[in-house]
Structure 1
């Protein structure tokens, strides 16, 4: 494991992992369904979740705890949060609402990406050397 940057503790927070009958410490997705959650915001959140970076893969596929559909076999991340690949399905198809802190985090990250200034000079210099 690498050392934390600048001596800070950099832990990735988990999101969207569910309890089992044997281990009820994690939440049940049925308890987080919000049928009144705005559909466009749900799809926006699910799209963000779908586009995480692959952080790991598993040998077996997970099934949705609410409808039993196959629901992925990978974990995804944005560097701050880690979630199972199928979390987007829970959000999009079942209205499982995620904490406001995560949605705010998403919005800040996406806004920062929109505000990036681009510089093509590095690419132009280095592409010619390839």
Structure 2
């Protein structure tokens, strides 16, 4: 494990999904929740799409639901708000597949809707830390995953 100096920001990874090459990540099928309001979904989609691109890959991602969305539209960058980091295409899962994210992220995003990405000091950003996100891999049932989601009516 890499240790970084105290002043380095290592955002928590969220929304990186299981694949053949990354079997230890969560499965997005376990995060589907149809009970979330359209307004709350739209707010989180806007938040995710407003992130600062801070890490770029040489290849594109793909939709884990195999819905036919072109890979280049899924993106090739990591975005951040300075606290969390997510793949550029994460909003697609919320828009098109009713995926919802753990309450810790939702609460953070809802209370920071107007974050200013120009205030993020990119020189202090390190690669994302995926330890927190990988703990959701063990939540292989929808029932377990929903225990970590904030409900629209709360």
TM range (shorter): 0.7 to 0.9
Residue 95 (structure 1) aligns with: 98
Q: 1:73 to 1:23 in 2, by over 3 A?
A: closer
**Take 2:109 and 2:76, find their aligned partners in 1: how far apart are those partners?**
23
The correspondence for 1:78, drawn from 74, 77, 81, is: 81
Q: Which runs of 5+ in 2 are unaligned?
A: 117-154
Give the alignment's TM-score, normalised by structure 1: 0.75
Question: Partners of 2:41 and 2:32 in 1: how far apart?
Answer: 11
Greater relative contact order structure (CA < 8 Å, 6+ sep): 2
Instruction: Provide the rounded CA distance (Å) in 2 between the counterparts of 1:112 and 1:80.
Output: 11
Q: Deviations over 1:21-67 (max 9, x none)?
A: 34421111111111222122111101100010001111111111111
Q: What are structure 1's unaligned runs of at least 5 residues?
A: 114-130
**CA RMSD, aligned part only?**
2.2
TM-score, normalised relative to structure 2: 0.64
Q: Which moved more, 1:16-25 or 1:26-35?
A: 16-25
Return closer, same or farther for 1:107/1:25 CA change in 2, 3 Å cut-off.
Answer: same
> Could you tell me how far 1:2 is from its partner in structure 2?
6.4
Partner Cα distance (1:112, 1:23) in 2: 31
Matches for 1:1-130 after TM superposition, within 5 Å: 3-5=5-7, 10-66=9-65, 67-69=67-69, 70=71, 71-110=74-113
